[in-house]
Structure 1
Amino acid sequence: MAFSSGGEGPMADINIIPLCDVMLVLLIIFMVTAPQLSYPIDIDLPQAAPPQIDRVEPPEPIRLRIDASGQLYWNDSPTPLSALRNMMESEVQRDPTNQPTLEIDTSEDADYGVLAKVLAEAKNAQMQKIGFVRK
């Protein structure tokens, strides 16, 4: 028992700090000396082979230019807006999984309505790769 220096009588509390220290040391000793409870099992796992990927070269991109007057140029040849959808659909039908990229180059003075019509035609023709050329 511990004694108090100024009080009514002896203090009857047990100091458990040394008891906790001893218990923690014993726990660590038992954890270190306990045998491993796992047993190794030999398993023959299949080895991964590198995947064989057939790389398909992408087709040449389609260059579509819109000048300031609203004239369309399909790969540098003048094209009317009415024929644009048929040309896009024929490009998509060649290989739907490997479509060419439609690269749209517009003049700074071009009408936005023409560009909106071109984008609508590309969407209706199911073109998936559309890009804009920056200067």
Structure 2
Amino acid sequence: MHGPFNRGPRRKPMGEINVVPFIDVMLVLLVIFMITAPMMTQGVQVELPKVASKPIKTDENSEPLVVSVDRDGQYFLSLGDGETPLTLDELSTKVVAILKRKPQTPVMVKGDQNVAYGQVVTLMGALQSAGVPNVGLISDPPPAEQ
């Protein structure tokens, strides 16, 4: 019995999903992230002094807190949201708050080689009064002689 509503054999429903467009989108995103990842380095432009020294061994689990002093004598604190200029009091307050949450956080000072020595010493004194037991200094290795 063929009525007006029955117009031929029915098709079986397809039980597969076409994943080719998904793979294409994922490959495009992978290429985009591979290209943009090197551009995402953040930090204050600081010309570090060249010193031959051994690297400090740090714990793999604790990210060091880096305090920077640029050529103009401005202080910066490296956090996840970037680096903004801070006064010495604001910097001390933030360091105290961070050390309350994670007391074993190593603190490193990254000072421009052209900044006045007194500014770095003032910074180190402020960090010590904020409760930092040890302050490390960051430097670049000297260029290899040929």
What TM-score comes out, normalization by structure 1 length? 0.52
Structure 2: which 5+ runs fail to align? 1-58, 141-146
Cα separation, 2, equivalents of 1:127 and 1:133: 16
8 Å CA contact 2:67–2:109 kept in 1: the answer is yes
Identity %: 21
* Matching residue within 58, 69, 73 for 2:72: 69
Cα separation, 2, equivalents of 1:116 and 1:91: 21
* Matched residue SS, 1:70: coil
Cα separation, 1, equivalents of 2:112 and 2:75: 11
Higher relative contact order (CA 8 A, sep 6+): 2
8 Å CA contact 1:104–1:132 kept in 2: the answer is yes
Cα separation, 2, equivalents of 1:103 and 1:91: 14
Counterpart position of 2:34: none
* Matching residue within 68, 80, 91 for 1:84: 91
8 Å CA contact 1:103–1:132 kept in 2: the answer is yes
Cα separation, 2, equivalents of 1:95 and 1:63: 14
* Matched residue SS, 1:103: strand
Q: How far did residue 82 of structure 1 move? A: 2.0
Please tell me whether residue 126 in structure 1 is matched to residue 131 in structure 2.
yes
Q: How far did residue 91 of structure 1 move? A: 1.5
Q: How far did residue 123 of structure 1 move? A: 1.0
* Matched residue SS, 1:90: helix
Mapping 1:1-135, distance limit 5 Å: 58-75=61-78, 76-96=83-103, 99-135=104-140
RMSD, aligned CA: 1.8
Q: How far did residue 117 of structure 1 move? A: 1.3
Q: How many pairs were matched up?
A: 78
